[in-house]
Amino acid sequence: MGKTVRFGVSMDSPQVALLDEISSSMGHENRSETIRSLVRQYAVGSVSIQDDRRVVGTLTLTYRLGKRLPTVLLANYPTLRISTNIQTHVNDQICVKVLVLTGKADEVCRWSRKLIDVRDGVGQPTVAATDQILEELSGE
């Protein structure tokens, strides 16, 4: 974790009121924690398919029971790892699969797209953390 730096921020009073509202809704005790959280969210949201940062994310797929998902070889994505694969039946016709993935962002995104592009299904990849956030959280 990096050295804590203190700095001042100037905002119009409506923005401060909004920041306080956000702090309250997020359950943060102070504005600093809210700003740190918003910066982390921005970092995660800025990950793109051209990004080579390492990420942790999920892929959620919803599809019709009996639909065979495409086989997308992991060998073509050397940094990609699947650490969790959970499947559940929502009802007698619909399945939901959740995969927890790690790897470079571009490989995670490209591999996920190949699975999502299936007829009778819908999916969404979500980046949960970048390598920088993981280092910060682990205190390294």
pLDDT reading at 5 higher than 80? yes
What pLDDT score does 48 carry? 64
What is the residue extent of each domain of the chain?
13-45, 54-138
Backbone angles phi, psi at 84, to 5 degrees: -145, 140
CA dist., res. 87 & res. 58, Å (int): 13
CA distances from 81 to 51, 61, 77 (A): 17, 17, 9
- What local confidence, expressed as pLDDT, does residue 1 receive? 57
Q: What is the pTM of this model?
A: 0.69
* Inter-residue long-range contacts of 7-11, CB under 8 Å, 24+ positions, other chains counted: 9/35
Task: Say which CATH superfamily domain 54-138 falls into.
Answer: ACT-like. Chain A, domain 2 (3.30.70.1150)
Q: Which are the contacts of 52, defined by CB distance < 8 A and separation ≥ 6?
A: 104, 105, 106
The C-alpha atoms of residue 5 and residue 21 are separated, in whole angstroms, by 24
Largest CA distance in the chain: 58
> Which pairing describes strands 81-89 and 54-64: parallel, antiparallel, or unpaired?
unpaired
For 30-65, the pLDDT digits (tens) are: 999 898 888 877 776 666 666 788 899 999 999 988
Query: pLDDT of 85-135, one tens digit each?
Result: 999 999 999 999 999 999 999 999 889 988 887 777 788 888 888 888 888
